[in-house]
Structure 1
């Protein structure tokens, strides 16, 4: 007997194999199941009962295994178990889909809502309105909520006309567009990625997240990631989907991959245009595939270049002023991680340190993982070439940083390479004469005029590398008089190599460095900046030279010995003076050698102790091998963290952009104080998805709790619509509007 290959034709038609005997072929016209090459089950569109019957009997007859059938039909094994149980208990009737939705018609029709609004508008209480109209108080509340609009509430006669007009219908939370065939193809490695597909739907929980897409496009995350990585390996969830999902989750308050467990995958999937959003295991796997390329720093550099080549909200050059600072991320695990002093926690902790760069507005644009134990001055020197690449030309850039980067040699190095320094003066310095102080002003980007009393002078800083030759760096110093902690006043000094910028602007730019601290604080609170996205680690380079802690302790002993010697010398001088100065009326006093030696004995003893301490300090090397000092030390994985940092940077800049649009393009009176709060409220708003207009994806958000906020978001929607942003991966142009419930058609329940 000859042997025939099973299913010689079906795989070529797109059929999904279930073991060695069965195959499933589904399309828009229905589905078919073949057993041993013979047609066994057939169903048409909407005949879900017959489809469930086929799946159940494939298992009951032994034609295929449970997991094979569940995978082919795009369901989980628990659903398949329930289908089989229903078939055994009630037969084919038990497999019929149960229609979802209200069990009786809603009392709250358009006419009833208009009636309730008329009674309530007359001053009746909730209970009186409910009794007068024959409904419950909850129904009255829903009817009144339907009147929230960005404009004045329409008259009752208008409401009646609206209710009587033609009303298109959107299904309430319909089943997502089935992607069974694509998922099966993805499992077989035959799908590059699933494209977004949207269907009309009402009452979508995360509809407000669509507002973030125009601002997300301006960050360049998707374009830069595509440029650096190209694409992810073939699979259902592509590169754009993974990144959009990560940014939207961060904006919704869950920046870590584990945060995906706090979302309904189906609900979040509607915003992504998929049947389900990726879950934790999938997110980690897809990010790890990016990690294998080792291009995270290239992604960060591409994002920085994209950001700095754009213009600011007022048309200013975003590369004109940059701020640099280090951020310590504490580690609480059991691995042997080097300790770093945390200024926030006020003590050394096992941690990693990152060097961040932000623009003049405090928006993050660049980050690198600092070498363990490296100073900010060292990191700044190493960072300059990458900043120059991101800037893209030879223009001078003002770089602000705090006293951690203090180094006159670094200042000279930066000035020679086209970077101007902006920092605080470190260490003791002479006060500037009060007659040199004069009032200076600066008008900020919000039009507010600021005034300070400033002395603009030039000082000389000795260069450490040329102390023997006496070479110094001439640098501009701007001094201010401020209140001292214990009362009174003191002078603080700002140093800069920029000789053209006005004194008022220099003071303003130095104070604006706190925007970077605010960015750290906001990102820790909203985007989990200090979280560990990966606990993987590698052995540190044991041949790396690190500071010898014993050297510092020995120097402390030298300082103590110097102080003891100075104190002993002062006491000896006083005692010798007393010996040589006789009391009044006494005769001449002769100071003998024994008396002199007795007075000077403590001084000589202190000199010997100082010489010994200096000798010990000099004998200790400044640096030693890490392997000799702390063998087995490890460093945390940086590639995964940098990828997530790129995502968090995009999420932060997206949030800042939306908040800025609320301040500049809406009439919200409290925008300066509540722009970010209103932005977060809008992103968490429910709404509808409408695809009935070809080429457009219309997002209709439900009104916010107050008319003022609703009006502001309506203006924001109009502005975002004018950008004509396309949903990533599609040709659909996004349009936004606010749902006026008094005009809103009654939604129907999907079958």
Structure 2
């Protein structure tokens, strides 16, 4: 079937001067305070500029008659689509007269004092809004407006009403969460609260409200809340972070991050593989934020260097909480590898892989048990000694508690403020001398260049008490030794341990007032920090990227390696390698072939050629060495060529998550100390805790006693259950409350003897 040709235009596209064209046929002209509409060049309607009724009537008439389309009216006059739809509906149903009917005045008050009292009593009884509106005979919108204006107070659907309903099971919750996906989203069952949050009507965020639930996934992680609270997860939040606004509060986000760390959900992206509704029950909400929402919340929390302020306050609290552990601090660097392409970070030596790889160096300060105090990121790094001197020592001098006064230091020349311990990377007699003379800080490390072995008969079997509480038998001996050069060296205490193999491990110390037993116990506990690195990388993902992005490095005066010097080093190694090979080839042809005269000429030519190459390479090597000596090894950051400068990875969100993970590690360490009391193999404590955090639990709020009962399901075997039961008894004795509520946390183990 052939298509019909379009009708030719019969009206010329003529419009009056100064007119605004609505479409090819209709235009409008504004003259003074009047609007005049034209069909082609003929006026068809006019009204005053402020006559909104005539405007709505005529534009609706144009649409209904097919002269104009809705989108043309919207584009020409800038009105909303809803306004056009209302006018068109009114024109079709009620005609032109409906636009000019006088407006009805305000009616009498619907919610009188009597009606308000009746509605308030129903609301106090826990009746829903819809049922209240039906019973007293008013519109639902009227009741909702009265509640929003504060004339009526709705009883919160907290534990007092939620606890009256039967406990839900996992299947029922799954069906409910799936059904909500067709409305606001998966597990978004608190519709009204989310709408109010979107409209800015929940300035304090969604309330924490628990409902009776059975078999909640990962419910066992709530057993860590007392330890998390004790280690400062909820401390200084209002002081450091601005309110988030919206549905989720800062407190709820912090609880979620800590639970993710303990449940080994290492990144925000991994959250999408867990049920949002089940995790939401742990927070007293309908669901946890989705990945994109949580990223936005973390961005808000990371603004204005808030994570750095929070971490500094917590670090000071941790140091003051245990002055004995704060007296001996362990410092070590950890290279965080970067395989991205946003910037070309410098290469660092990674001892765990024995390779030079691109990354950034973090310096961690831990106690003797491996618990972290703080971490310092150094995108431009000159090594451990420079980091200790410029970044770590000034902070420790300010934060370490119970430092001796200046009078006490003057009275006792062997007294130290505190002690720092590190591995052989920090070996420097000049640095030891500077720390002692300038700050009276003692240093303990391994001797990098020990002299001859000591006689075995000077070693004595000694019981050494380690910082963790265990006692180890060691063969120890102590002497005074001069360490370093005659000019810059100093006398230090040298303690040696005789190993069963006959090897002598030497450590040196400027803790002149200490003992060999104490120093040996401290330094040989340095592996607790290495264990922390390995455990945190494997279980908490401290090496993983928290966000994608870089920023410029500004305000630094730290020297960096000169790229020109690095290139000359490469050239020197290359020329030296070639020269070594040519000399080896020359030595191989040194024997004279006396028996064969034909080979003599060839031998002489080959030898002369090699000799020329050797002389050329020797000259080239001397030239490179001269240029190398004239080129400075380091440059200031501002002197680097632009093409050689790199950027730092975005630090704030990483520091926020690292701080939460430090709190989680410290909380887990405290709980492991309790569990070890009931375990024959103490190394199993953390594995038992991991099983506890991943276990299911029943959450039963009790409004009568103002308690939240957490009933942890039985674990793998009786041995583990006995250890968990012992832990829960200790937690119950702490009388902790759920953060942000007055609910006392009560823990039970299903099937336990005490239940």
**TM-score bracket for this pair, using the shorter chain length:** 0.5 to 0.7
Aligned position for 1:437: 458
Q: Distance in 2 between the 1:255 and 1:607 partners?
A: 55
Quick check: 2:481–2:494 contact (8 Å CA) kept in 1? yes
Larger radius of gyration: 2
For structure 2, list consecutive stretches of 5 or more residues without a partner in the other structure: 1-100, 111-122, 145-164, 174-186, 405-416, 580-614
Q: Distance in 1 between the 2:652 and 2:190 partners?
A: 33
Query: More deviation in 185-194 or 361-370?
Result: 185-194
Output aligned runs, 1:319-358, within 5 Å: 319-339=326-346, 340-358=348-366
Is residue 51 of structure 2 the alignment partner of residue 30 of structure 1? Answer: no
Quick check: 1:394–1:418 contact (8 Å CA) kept in 2? no
1:80-101 Cα distance to aligned partner (Å, 9 max, x none)? xxxxxxxxxxxxxxxxxxxxxx
Q: 1:435 to 1:481 in 2, by over 3 A?
A: closer
Aligned position for 2:309: 298
Query: More deviation in 622-631 or 273-282?
Result: 622-631
1:566-597 Cα distance to aligned partner (Å, 9 max, x none)? xxxxxxxxxxxxxxxxxxxxxxxxxxxxxxxx
Q: 1:472 to 1:199 in 2, by over 3 A?
A: same
Q: 1:631 to 1:43 in 2, by over 3 A?
A: same
Output aligned runs, 1:329-728, within 5 Å: 329-339=336-346, 340-382=348-390, 383-395=392-404, 396-415=417-436, 416-426=438-448, 428-434=449-455, 437-439=458-460, 440-444=462-466, 448-462=470-484, 470-482=487-499, 490-541=503-554, 545-548=559-562, 550-551=564-565, 615-626=626-637, 627-628=640-641, 630-664=643-677, 667-670=678-681, 672-692=682-702, 693-728=704-739
Following superposition, the deviation at residue 614 of structure 1 comes to 5.6
Q: Distance in 1 between the 2:470 and 2:491 partners?
A: 33
Q: Distance in 2 between the 1:651 and 1:5 partners?
A: 63
Q: Distance in 1 between the 2:130 and 2:365 partners?
A: 59
Quick check: 2:493–2:508 contact (8 Å CA) kept in 1? yes
Output aligned runs, 1:253-272, within 5 Å: 253-272=264-283
When normalised by structure 2's length, the TM-score is 0.66
Q: Which has the higher contact order (CA 8 A, sep 6+)?
A: 1
For structure 1, list consecutive stretches of 5 or more residues without a partner in the other structure: 11-24, 45-50, 52-167, 566-603, 745-751
Instruction: Find the residue that maps to 1:740 and give its secondary structure.
Output: coil
Quick check: 2:221–2:694 contact (8 Å CA) kept in 1? yes
Instruction: Find the residue that maps to 2:325 and give its secondary structure.
Output: coil
When normalised by structure 1's length, the TM-score is 0.66
Following superposition, the deviation at residue 2 of structure 1 comes to 6.7
Aligned position for 1:84: none
Following superposition, the deviation at residue 220 of structure 1 comes to 0.7
Q: 2:214 aligns with which of 197, 202, 210?
A: 202
Q: 1:641 to 1:2 in 2, by over 3 A?
A: farther
Instruction: Find the residue that maps to 2:444 and give its secondary structure.
Output: strand
Output aligned runs, 1:110-259, within 5 Å: 170-173=167-170, 179-190=190-201, 191-229=203-241, 231-259=242-270
Q: Distance in 2 between the 1:177 and 1:725 partners?
A: 29
Following superposition, the deviation at residue 196 of structure 1 comes to 1.3
Following superposition, the deviation at residue 208 of structure 1 comes to 0.6
Instruction: Find the residue that maps to 1:268 and give its secondary structure.
Output: helix
Q: 1:636 to 1:43 in 2, by over 3 A?
A: same
Quick check: 2:725–2:752 contact (8 Å CA) kept in 1? no
Following superposition, the deviation at residue 336 of structure 1 comes to 2.2
Instruction: Find the residue that maps to 1:525 and give its secondary structure.
Output: helix
Quick check: 1:402–1:423 contact (8 Å CA) kept in 2? yes
Q: Distance in 2 between the 1:42 and 1:620 partners?
A: 80
Quick check: 2:365–2:372 contact (8 Å CA) kept in 1? yes
Q: 1:417 to 1:211 in 2, by over 3 A?
A: same
Following superposition, the deviation at residue 3 of structure 1 comes to 7.0
| Cα root mean square deviation, aligned | 4.1
Query: More deviation in 178-187 or 710-719?
Result: 178-187
Quick check: 2:709–2:747 contact (8 Å CA) kept in 1? yes
Q: 1:3 to 1:369 in 2, by over 3 A?
A: farther
Q: 1:500 to 1:669 in 2, by over 3 A?
A: same
Q: 1:622 to 1:196 in 2, by over 3 A?
A: same
Quick check: 1:32–1:39 contact (8 Å CA) kept in 2? no
Instruction: Find the residue that maps to 1:476 and give its secondary structure.
Output: strand
Q: 1:346 to 1:30 in 2, by over 3 A?
A: same
Quick check: 1:301–1:390 contact (8 Å CA) kept in 2? no
Aligned position for 2:9: none
Instruction: Find the residue that maps to 1:318 and give its secondary structure.
Output: helix
Equivalent residues, number: 555
